[in-house]
């Protein structure tokens, strides 16, 4: 009897296997879009700078199903795209245009979602895919000055995230004008975001993985005094596949110099701070600041204390005329950035800067209130 029983068990297991693979194989392919022809180029251009092998995101989306790959993440991708949680890009297309948008176009969104729910077809597997994004490199070419972190920073096994703040002397014998600042991560998979500033001076860059450094427009520049010291803040976070490894990073700042602007004036920050008392995190907040001098607004840097449903910054002239400066949809504190306006805005002295922030889904992720309290909006302005 025994062999018989064994045999029938094997037969049952075999039948189940057939059934399962049968279901998989017969999942209807309804998508006219395929990975190789349609989906891969979108994932490469809009997700690949993070979702690449060795990148900061937990998985590569740049293979079909080798080493994980896009198929295994199709449902998760659909969810993240529909909820606009990925890619981390918050500028609302109905607001003022900002430079270097990472948003998917409606057509790109349709292609990826149709593919994800429509059987995830591969297409012609023999077709060569277009080149992958370049690994971390200087996006504006070799900088005029590079400044490396004084020492490696290590996250031991089991340490998942950590913040570091270091000062780095420039040792520049004379004052300089800076048109752009970039960061070259030493270990790209763990460098999640960075802030580069002159000590007691200008914020030179708000850096996120794979982003191109954007030069200040129209010959404008940041001023750094002779012998300036730079302050580098990095937030490290390991992707889950590396959580048990010890990982070290030693990143490098790159500065790009330029001539003194014709006006002789540097880019300065005008800050508008939210209310000091925490208030009710669930209530919309409206608060204002004033431009004490006339100036041209080049960029805005929101520093969030919590996720918001929406965030709008509007300039209100004495006449009551309203000029929108920034409109964000569901911004999250984990992904801070400097939004460079596609069209800088001239504002007269006395203009009111009005900020309206509606609360977002507070349960959707860790709050980072202690890091950035209160909510602050900084405007990068060239005084007139």
SS (H, E, C) the chain: CHHHHHHHHHHHHHHHHHHHHHHHHCCCCCCCCCHHHHHHHHHHHHCCCCCCCCCCCCCCCCCCCCCCCCHHHHHHHHHHHHCCCCCCCCECCCCCCECCCCCCCHHHHHHHHHHHHCCCCCCCCCCCCCCCCCCCCCCCCCCCEEEECCCCEEECCCCCEEEEEEEEECCCCCCEEEEEEEEECCCCCCEEEEEEEECCCCEEEEECCCCCCCCCCCCCCEEECCCCEEEEEEEEECCHHHCCCCEEECCEEEEEEECCCCCCCCCEEEEEECCCCCCCCCCCEEEEEECCCCEEEEEEEEECCCCEEEEEEEEECCCCCEEEEEEEECCCCCCCCCEEEEEEEEECCCCEEEEEEEECCCCCCCCCHHHHCCCEEEEEEEEC
Q: How far is the CB of 134 from ligand HEC (least distance, A)?
A: 15
Q: How far is the CB of 17 from ligand HEC (least distance, A)?
A: 28
Q: How far is the CB of 307 from ligand HEC (least distance, A)?
A: 12
Minimum CB distance to ligand HEC smaller for 283 or for 364: 364
Minimum CB distance to ligand HEC smaller for 222 or for 236: 236
Q: How far is the CB of 32 from ligand HEC (least distance, A)?
A: 20
Q: How many residues bind ligand HEC (CB under 6 A)?
A: 20
Per rule CB under 6 A, is residue 80 in the interface with ligand HEC? yes
Q: How far is the CB of 81 from ligand HEC (least distance, A)?
A: 6
What backbone phi and psi angles, to 5 degrees, belong to 264?
75, 5
Site for ligand HEC in 205-244 (CB under 6 A): 208-210
Per rule CB under 6 A, is residue 355 in the interface with ligand HEC? no
State which of residues 39, 52, 57, 196 lies at the interface with ligand HEC (CB under 6 A): 57
Per rule CB under 6 A, is residue 46 in the interface with ligand HEC? yes
Per rule CB under 6 A, is residue 87 in the interface with ligand HEC? yes
Per rule CB under 6 A, is residue 56 in the interface with ligand HEC? yes
Per rule CB under 6 A, is residue 330 in the interface with ligand HEC? no
State which of residues 33, 40, 64, 73 lies at the interface with ligand HEC (CB under 6 A): 73
State which of residues 10, 30, 76, 244 lies at the interface with ligand HEC (CB under 6 A): 76
Site for ligand HEC in 96-125 (CB under 6 A): 104
State which of residues 52, 62, 71, 86 lies at the interface with ligand HEC (CB under 6 A): 86
Minimum CB distance to ligand HEC smaller for 47 or for 291: 47
Per rule CB under 6 A, is residue 338 in the interface with ligand HEC? no
Given the rule CB under 6 A, which residues bind ligand HEC? 46-47, 49-51, 56-58, 73, 76-77, 80-81, 86-88, 104, 208-210
């Amino acid at each position: 009897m025994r062999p018989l029983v064994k045999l029938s068990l094997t037969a049952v297991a075999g039948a189940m296997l057939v059934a399962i693979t049968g279901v998989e194989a017969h999942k209807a392919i309804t998508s006219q879009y395929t990975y190789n022809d349609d989906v891969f180029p979108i994932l490469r251009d809009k997700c690949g700078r993070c979702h690449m092998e060795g990148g900061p995101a937990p998985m590569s989306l740049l293979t079909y199903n080798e080493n994980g790959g896009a198929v295994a993440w199709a449902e998760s991708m659909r969810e993240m795209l529909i909820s606009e949680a990925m890619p981390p890009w918050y500028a609302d297309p109905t607001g003022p245009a900002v430079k270097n948008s990472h948003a998917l176009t409606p057509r790109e969104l349709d292609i990826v979602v149709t593919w994800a729910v429509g059987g995830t077809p591969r297409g012609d597997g023999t077709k060569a895919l277009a080149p992958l994004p370049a690994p971390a490199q200087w996006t504006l070419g070799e900088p005029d000055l590079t400044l490396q972190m004084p020492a490696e920073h290590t996250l031991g096994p089991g340490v998942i995230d950590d913040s570091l703040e270091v000062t780095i002397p420039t040792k520049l014998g004379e004052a300089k004008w800076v048109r752009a600042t970039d960061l070259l991560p030493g270990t790209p998979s763990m460098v999640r975001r960075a802030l580069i500033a002159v000590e007691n001076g200008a914020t030179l860059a708000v850096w996120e993985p794979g982003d191109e450094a954007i030069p200040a427009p129209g010959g404008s520049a940041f001023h750094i005094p002779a012998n300036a010291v730079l302050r580098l803040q990095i937030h490290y976070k390991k992707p889950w596949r590396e959580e048990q490894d010890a990982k070290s990073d030693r990143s490098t700042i790159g500065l790009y110099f330029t001539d003194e602007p014709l006006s002789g004036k540097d880019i300065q920050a005008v800050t508008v701070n939210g209310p000091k008392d925490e208030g009710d995190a669930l209530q919309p907040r409206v608060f204002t600041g004033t431009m004490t001098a006339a100036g041209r607004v080049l960029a805005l840097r929101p520093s969030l204390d919590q996720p918001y449903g929406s965030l709008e910054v509007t300039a209100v002239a004495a006449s009551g005329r309203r000029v929108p400066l920034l409109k964000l949809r569901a911004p999250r504190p984990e992904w801070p950035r400097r939004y460079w306006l596609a069209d800088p805005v001239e504002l007269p002295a006395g203009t009111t800067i009005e900020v309206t922030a509606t609360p977002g889904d507070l349960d959707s992720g860790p709050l980072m209130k202690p890091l950035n309290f209160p909510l602050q909006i900084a405007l990068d302005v060239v005084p007139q």
